[in-house]
């Protein structure tokens, strides 16, 4: 499967899962050992804007699906 990544922040995984589910695919979770960082990048301006953009994009695409039905 090839697709253009439109997400730029922490929302890449959510975008991928949503695309797969819309195509009728499934996924499994894989445990990964994490590590603590000294400072978080979650609330950086870039990530906040990216997540807001993804939420708007997902909402509009869901609305489009409902309207076109």
In Å, what is the CA distance from 13 to each residue of 9, 38, 62, 64, 69? Answer: 9, 23, 18, 22, 27
Residue pair 47/7 in contact by the 8 Å Cβ criterion = no
pLDDT at residue 42, rounded to an integer: 73
What is the C-alpha separation between 38 and 18, in angstroms, rounded?
31
Residues 6+ apart with CB under 8 A from 3: 19
What is the C-alpha separation between 54 and 68, in angstroms, rounded?
21
pLDDT at residue 57, rounded to an integer: 86
pTM exceeds 0.85 for this model: no
pLDDT at residue 52, rounded to an integer: 87
- The pLDDT tens digits of the residues spanning 14-61 come to 888 888 888 899 888 889 888 877 777 777 888 888 888 888 888 888
pLDDT at residue 54, rounded to an integer: 84
pLDDT at residue 2, rounded to an integer: 67
């Amino acid at each position: 499967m090839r697709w253009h990544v439109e997400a730029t922040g922490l929302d890449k995984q959510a975008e991928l899962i949503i695309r797969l589910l819309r195509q009728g695919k499934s996924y499994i979770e894989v445990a990964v050992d994490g590590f603590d960082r000294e400072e978080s990048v979650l609330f950086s301006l870039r990530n906040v804007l990216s997540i807001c953009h993804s939420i708007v994009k997902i909402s509009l695409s869901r609305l489009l699906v409902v309207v076109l039905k």
